[in-house]
Structure 1
Amino acid sequence: MNKEKLEEFRQLLQSQIDGLLREADKTVSEMTDEKTNFPDPTDRASLESDRNFELRIRDRERKLIMKIQEAIERIDAGEFGICDSCGEEIGEARLRARPVTTLCIDCKTEQERQERIG
């Protein structure tokens, strides 16, 4: 992959990190700003349920940020876009759809097939 494409992917990945971090900051500030005291247990339970859901989402996003950082490290190491399994280039369309991927579509399909089999 040429340097121009790699830089394009780096910028895409960095913008994804920036967006995820903005959302995390927003969640933290909303949770620290809420000083509501609900006398009704149902309202309090609903708020807690919403908070737990939001925190689960943020945890998934934290894991995604780690994958994005790993992808940027692969760009720096010259390994971005190379399948970890077969060593072939990962198609650009697949990288655009999922830039953190480490497997080409054929290897990913085989991996999923193996997981279904057990």
Structure 2
Amino acid sequence: MSQATTSSRSITEQKHVTKAAVKSPRSKAPSFNSALTEDELRRMSDDDYMNESQMAFFRKRLLQMREEVLQREVDVKERLHEREVFADPADRATAEEEHWLDLRLRERESLLLRKVDEALRRIENKEYGYCEKTGDPIGIPRLLARPTATVCVDVKGQDERVEAQYRDR
């Protein structure tokens, strides 16, 4: 067989391999290196749940959340360290109320930061996206709405019903 025939045959074989790859259902998922959009993420099949590209999407989103929380924490710390003296009791009361609200905000931001760090740890351990109680998928829509979610909608609903029963007593 001549080298030209071998060369043309290998090109033809490469075309078939490429066409086969395009037709495969897994090829609909964007590659790991490309940045997914929310729409692409929602359109992915259930077979692609928590694949590398989805994990990368949520890791990026959580890292962005982390940076935003850290920046807000810095802003709150700066406001907490600002001490103004007010002669007017109403102004002093307003400043104290703002100070209390900033303390509460700082507490909430610290809690969110811990949840974000925990979600990032779950991504590293390949546990992200699965309910801690049942092991079932949490679901892309829920994770898009709340990237730090640790339980599926069913478990969360059940927990809230139990909590409401005790709260109503």
Q: Which TM bucket (shorter chain)? A: over 0.9
CA–CA distance in structure 1, aligned partners of residues 120 and 77 of structure 2:
26
Q: How many equivalent pairs are there?
A: 117
Q: What are structure 1's unaligned runs of at least 5 residues?
A: none
Structure 1 residue 81 and structure 2 residue 129: aligned? Answer: yes
The CA distance in 1 between the partners of 2:80 and 2:165, in whole Å, is: 43
Matches within 5 A, 1:1-118: 1-32=50-81, 34-118=82-166
**What is the deviation of 1:7?**
0.9
Q: 8 Å contact 2:80–2:102 — kept in the other structure?
A: no
Query: Structure with the greater relative contact order (CA < 8 A, sep ≥ 6): 1 or 2?
Result: 1
Question: Which of structure 1's runs of 4+ aligned residues deviate more than 4 A?
Answer: none
| Structure 2 letter corresponding to 1:109 | G
Structure 2 runs not aligned, ≥5 long: 1-49
Give the letter aligned to residue 129 of structure 2. Answer: G
